[in-house]
Amino acid sequence: MRLAYAPYRLWFKSPARTSREVMTEKVTCLLKVWDETNPAVFGIGEAAVFPGLSPEANEGFEIKLVELLANVALGRPTDLSRHSSIQFGFEQALRDFASGGLRLYFPSSFTQGEGQIVINGLIWMGSFEEMASRVEEKVKAGFRCIKLKVGGIDWNNELSILKRLRDRFSAEELTIRVDANGAFNAENALPRLQALADLGVHSIEQPVPARNWALMSRLCKESPTPIALDEELIGIYSTEEKAQMLDEIRPAYIILKPALCGGFSGAEEWIRLSEERGIGWWVTSALESNVGLNALAQWTATLRPTLPQGLGTGALYTNNFPTPLQLEGDRLSFNPAETADSAAFADLDWRE
């Protein structure tokens, strides 16, 4: 078996703003696995590295890819336990290769065109007018769960958008989630969490920065708004430390990004540990291209989720790859008639 990798730069249609940064591009890396006796059949995966979030997003990233490439050729295992994005992409490529290169990573009734995944509508940060307009667009498109990024503009303006939304739609009609990306602090977190609770907000992701377990634990105990952990899961590798973190913080939910928390196998361990403790969860993409997003949606469908998921159709980028995923309103489905297009990967800068 052989492996190659190809760096790829995704370009946003519009700048994507969080409380941390404004993004106009996103680097990623595709992996290809094949058998030398039949190179026309290959599996594709995406090592969806995320600079600023992925611990392995440094000069060692490509070194680990070269190590994996050599070990695959020699038939030797590679320790990817601290390289979630590569683990994520390698699992995809192997699964795709096993299915005959048809981009069927997790065959199920979903990939047969049956069933749908309910997703939330994501509202990126912007000016008051931009965010209010984006909310209107998502509601008109049929979304019944909206997630807003907060912490990037004036808090009172963000609160005004939430109030306007709640004035129009009750909590039964529209679920509101917010994601602070760690923008709150010990002084302002609880008053803001109370204001969100007064508006019937479903949950907040990562209100304060990760790695302050004592503060996050206190907030989870005292907050009237349920707290979901996101960045808090990144960089925790062992089963023991995962369990310790969940036991100490006791969040209401965890947010699973396999590209950032150990690939599919690592995310499944997080699910097992959280369910043992009565902690809820949902899956969110990590700005993957349509390659990773397709695999992510197929995997999510096998979990039979009960809450809206944080997935999409990869419409953020100008230079994305073809996808069998389709979105109608807030329902994500798979079109099996959209056959795998191997030609889309032919001209990439493959490194062997």
| DSSP conformation letters of 226-294 | -EEESGGGTT--SHHHHHHHHHHH--SEEEE-TTTTTHHHHHHHHHHHHHHTT-EEEEB--S--HHHHH
The predicted model scores a pTM of 0.94
More confident residue, 298 or 169: 298
- Using DSSP's 3-state secondary structure scheme, residue 69 falls into helix
Does CATH number 3.20.20.120 belong to domain 117-334? yes
- pLDDT digit string (tens) for 4-59? 999 999 999 887 777 667 888 999 999 999 999 999 999 999 999 988 889 999 98
149 included as an active-site residue: yes
Q: Is 165 helix (H, G, I), strand (E, B) or coil?
A: helix
- The per-residue pLDDT for 16 is 76
* Catalytic residue (choose from 26, 64, 147, 257): 257
> What is the structure's pLDDT at 19?
60
User: What is the architecture, at CATH level 2, of domain 2-101?
Assistant: 2-Layer Sandwich (3.30)
Q: Residue 81 has what pLDDT?
A: 94
Active-site annotation holder among 149, 163, 221, 242: 149
Catalytic (active site) residue 32: no
Which of the four pLDDT bands, split at 50, 70 and 90, describes residue 310? Answer: very high
Would you list the domain boundaries of the chain? 2-101, 117-334
What tens digit of pLDDT does each residue of 90-144 get?
999 999 999 999 999 999 999 999 999 999 999 887 777 888 888 889 999 999 9
